[in-house]
Structure 1
Amino acid sequence: MANTRPPRLLPGTPAKLTLPAGTPLYRLHAARHPATAFNPVPAHCLYGGGRFDATRCDPFGYLYAGLTAESAVCESLLRSVPFDPGGTPRLVPRVAMRGRRLSFLRLAAELDVVSLVTGRELASVAQDSWLVQAEAGEYPFTRDWGHWIRQHTDPWAQGFLLPSKREPGDRVVVLFGDRCVPDVIEEMDVPPVDFDTAEGERRLNSLLEPYHARIAP
C-alpha cells in the first residue's frame, strides 16, 4: 500500500474508540522535556520522523505513548535491534537510553481516537496492516496517510490507537495537540524512571529481559 495514494473519499466509517479519563499512559522521552508536553516540531515531509508525526503539510502538536510500560520501551528502544544467531541477548546501544526517562501518565479527560487495530478498522480508512507495521523507511507515506485520516475525521478524532509493532499484544497512541483540551494529560503520583541512574538501568533491563534484550555494557 506504500505506493498507493489515499482515495478521495473514505470507503467506510472510521472506528471511534473513547479512552476514558484516568487511562494510564507510559511515555519514554528525553528527560529535558516535560512528560506531558506535545512535540511542537513538524517532521520533514520526506526524511526522518515518526509514523504519524505532523509535517508542514499538516502542522500540529503530537505525543506518542504506550498503554503499557512494555510497549513504550519496545517502541522506542527495540527498533532495528537484531537477535544474535548465537542466542545471547540482543544489545540495545547505551546511547539510546542516555538522557531519557520513563514517565507514568494518565488522561485527565476522555478522548475519542480512531482505532487502527483490526483488519476491519483499517479497511474503513482504505488501508491494511501496512499502515501500522511499515518500517521507518516508509514513514513519509504513513505520515501522508495519517494526515488524510485526520482530514476525514475532523474535528472529532483526537488521536489514533494502534498495535505496538514490537509488542503486538499491547497498544500505543498518538495524540493530536490541536484537538485536545489543555492539560489533557497529567502525571501520576509515581516518580519517573531516569535511565541514566543505576536503579533506572536495572529497571530498564528488567523490562527488556522478556524480549531477550538488555542494555549494552
Structure 2
Amino acid sequence: MPKYPPPDVLPGTPTRATLPAGTAVYRVHATHRAAAVFNPHPARTFYDGGRFDSTPYDRYGFLYVGFGVGAAVSEVLLRSVPFDGDGGVRLLPRVAFERRSLSFLRLAADLEVVSLMSGADLAAVGQDTWLVHAESADYPQTRDWGHWIRQRTKPWSQGFVWPSKREPADRVAVLFEDRCPVPPLEPAGAPPVDFGTPEGERWLNGVLAPYLAQAAPRATGRGI
C-alpha cells in the first residue's frame, strides 16, 4: 500500500483509450439488478466495496465488466478465495454466487476511458501496478486514487480499463454513469445465466474449473 495520498497535480498526461461500440463485454451482477443498470450505492469509505466504487466523497453510479467470461467471473467471485497450498480445488462459498448472474452484453456506443494497462499509463497518474493489483484491504486507498483520477480527467473520462488481476490475459473496466451515454450497454442476445439455478451452477463450474475452483456443495441436513 502506498504511504502517500495522490499529488496535487497529475505527473503526466493520462492515456486515453476508446472502447468501440459493439465490443462484447460480460457482467456478473446481483440477479435482482438488470444487466445494464448501474450500481447506485456508494461504498462505505473505509470498509466494503470494490476497487473503483463511488463513495460519499464522490457519488456516481458505477458498473464493472470483463472483456472475457473468465475475467468477469474470476474478478467478482474469486477475489477472496485463495489457494491453500495443497494443490486442491478452491471451494467458492454458496453465498458468493447464489444470488448472482452473468449477462452477455455489448457496448452501445464508443466510450473514452483512462487506460491503466501499462506501466507508462500508470506512471502518468502517479501510480504503479499496486493500483490495479491491490487486494481488497487496500480498496479504500484505490477508491481515493480513482476519485482523484476521475476529477482530473473530467469531463472526458467515462471509465477506466486495466488488466484483470485474476485473469491477466484479459481486461476489465469500470464505467461511470454520470459520464456515459444512455444506455452505454445493451444485451448481446444470449439470455443471462442465473448462478442460483442448477443449470447456472453447472455452467459456472465449467468456467471455474480452469481456475481450480468450484461451487461449494450444498449443505445436507442431519437427522436427530
TM-score when scaled to structure 2?
A: 0.94
Match of 2:46 in 1: 46
Partner of 2:88: 88
Structure 2 CA distance for aligned equivalents of residues 9 and 100 of structure 1: 40
Which residue of 2 is the match for residue 163 of structure 1?
Answer: 163
Q: Indicate the residue corresponding to 2:221 in structure 1.
A: none
Instruction: Measure, in 2, the Cα distance between the counterparts of 1:153 and 1:52.
Output: 15
Q: Residue type matched to 1:209 in 2?
A: A
Deviations 1:132-170 (A, max 9, x none): 011111111111100110111000000000111111111
Partner of 1:215: 215
Per the alignment, residue 35 of structure 1 pairs with 35
Deviations 1:93-121 (A, max 9, x none): 11111121100011100000001011000
Aligned to 1:203: 203
Identity of aligned residues (%): 60
2:109 maps to 1:105: no
Is contact 1:150–1:157 with CA below 8 Å preserved after alignment?
yes
Deviates more, 1:160-169 or 1:75-84: 75-84
Secondary structure in 1 aligned to 2:142?
Answer: helix
SS at match of 1:147: helix
How big is the shift at 1:199?
Answer: 1.4
Aligned residues: 217
**Equivalent position of 2:130 in the other structure:** 130
- Following superposition, the deviation at residue 207 of structure 1 comes to 0.4
Distance 2:55 2:216 in 1: 34
Q: Which amino acid aligns with 1:27?
A: R
Tell me how far apart the structure 1 counterparts of residues 131 and 32 of structure 2 sit (CA, whole Å).
31
Matching residue's letter, 1:214: Q
For 1:86 and 1:147, the matched residues in 2 are separated by 40
Q: Which residue of 2 aligns with 1:153?
A: 153
Q: CA deviation at 1:46?
A: 1.1
CA-CA distance at 1:88 after TM superposition: 2.3
Deviation of residue 85 (structure 1)?
Answer: 3.4
Residues 182 and 96 of structure 1: CA distance in aligned 2, closer, same or farther (over 3 Å) = same
Instruction: Note if 1:16 corresponds to 2:16.
Output: yes
Q: Which amino acid aligns with 1:175?
A: L
**Structure 2: stretches of 5+ with no match in the other structure:** 218-224
TM-score, normalised via structure 1 length = 0.97
Task: State the SS of the aligned residue for 2:183.
Answer: coil
What amino acid does structure 1 have at the position aligned with 2:47?
Answer: Y
Distance 2:179 2:55 in 1: 16
Alignment deviations for residues 48-92 of structure 1 (CA, whole Å, 9 cap, x no partner): 111101111111110111111100100111122122433221111
**For the residues of structure 1 that align with 2:17 and 2:186, how far apart are their CA atoms?**
20
Q: Distance in 1 between matches of 2:86 and 2:173?
A: 35
CA RMSD of aligned residues (A): 1.0
Match of residue 185 from structure 2:
185
Contact 1:2–1:138 (CA under 8 A) maintained in structure 2: no
Deviations along 1:178-205, one digit per CA (max 9) or x if unpaired, are 0001111111110111111221111111
